[in-house]
Structure 1
Amino acid sequence: MPGPHVIRGSVSLPEAELMWRFSRSSGPGGQHVNTSDSQVELRFDLASTEALPAVWKARALDRLSARLVDGVISVRASDHRSQWRNRETAATRLASLLAEATAPPPKQRRPTRIPRGINERRLREKKQRSERKRGRSGRDWG
């Protein structure tokens, strides 16, 4: 694998904690598919890893709780004919999934106040429009 798969900053996926499994893949490859194990399943034990800071780990466990099985996250790749390229794809997917799950929450939006002058002008124009429309009725044409 070309280099460590960086999650964010200086934090990367430790190769020793990655569990690889290979199986036969459906998809492109013709007769070659029947003889080679090109599908890749990459598993990472998120619950017991020490590679992530505690805050990131808690955030990832919370956000990925629906995808975890006993604290382990699993990613599959069978897009390519080559097992090597599928390994790269799976590792990249896992790194991006963890990067997204460990990202800090966005800043909370502070609602803006409407300036008093704008609100007064809106009410004044609304009243003028009301007077104009009321003046169009033929009541006073006696």
Structure 2
Amino acid sequence: MLVISNRLAIPEGEFEISAIRSQGAGGQNVNKVASAVHLRFDIGASSLPDPVKAQLLRGRDRRITKNGVIVIKAQEHRTFEKNREAACMRLVQMVRGALVPIRKRKPTRPTRGSARRRLDSKTRRGRQKALRRKVTL
């Protein structure tokens, strides 16, 4: 069971973990041992609350497929157990991120001083460029 918060958890049966071979350098160990992990979690079929599901599917994360399945690959450690733990932690962080409500943007206006400074710098830049032009007599 993956504990997300004190009121939310993901049961072990809702995500699938498979062992695959790691990529990159590592010699004989990488070629022989399947220590990397693929974690698959179907958002739609999960027991997560509907608002959390909607927030996860709304997010523009490349780890979420078009079918609404989160695919996490962990291969940074040498052992299957550590990679499994790393993949589970990433899933937990992803779901925790969906729990945080999106703040509505409060429209603001620039201060009078900042607007004046911006216009002054534009005027200075224009004068500096004007001095670079050819002088006509």
Q: Normalising by structure 2, what TM-score?
A: 0.69
- Structure 2 gaps of 5+ residues are 117-137
* Counterparts of residues 1-142 of structure 1 (less than 5 Å): 4-27=1-24, 29-50=26-47, 52-64=48-60, 67-109=64-106, 111=108
User: Is the Cα contact below 8 Å between 1:17 and 1:45 reproduced in 2?
Assistant: yes
How many matched pairs? 113
Q: Which deviates the most, 77-86 or 103-112?
A: 103-112
User: Is the Cα contact below 8 Å between 1:28 and 1:80 reproduced in 2?
Assistant: no
Cα distance, 1:26 vs structure 2: 2.4
C-alpha separation between the residues in 1 aligned to 2:86 and 2:34? 15
CA, structure 1 residues 29+81, in 2 after alignment: closer, same or farther (shift >3 Å)? farther
Q: Name the % identity.
A: 35
Question: Which structure would you say has the larger Rg?
Answer: 1
C-alpha separation between the residues in 1 aligned to 2:3 and 2:79? 23
| Map of 2:131 onto structure 1 | none
Q: Per-residue CA shift, 1:35-79, capped at 9, x if unaligned?
A: 2110100000001212x1111111211115752231211000000
User: Is the Cα contact below 8 Å between 1:22 and 1:37 reproduced in 2?
Assistant: yes
Q: Which deviates the most, 5-14 or 96-105?
A: 5-14
C-alpha separation between the residues in 1 aligned to 2:59 and 2:99? 8
**What secondary structure, in the 3-state scheme, does the structure 2 residue paired with 1:105 have?**
coil
Q: Which deviates the most, 83-92 or 65-74?
A: 65-74
C-alpha separation between the residues in 2 aligned to 1:36 and 1:88? 18
Cα distance, 1:12 vs structure 2: 1.7
CA, structure 1 residues 65+33, in 2 after alignment: closer, same or farther (shift >3 Å)? closer
- Structure 1 gaps of 5+ residues are 123-142
Aligned-residue CA RMSD (Å):
2.6
Cα distance, 1:28 vs structure 2: 5.9
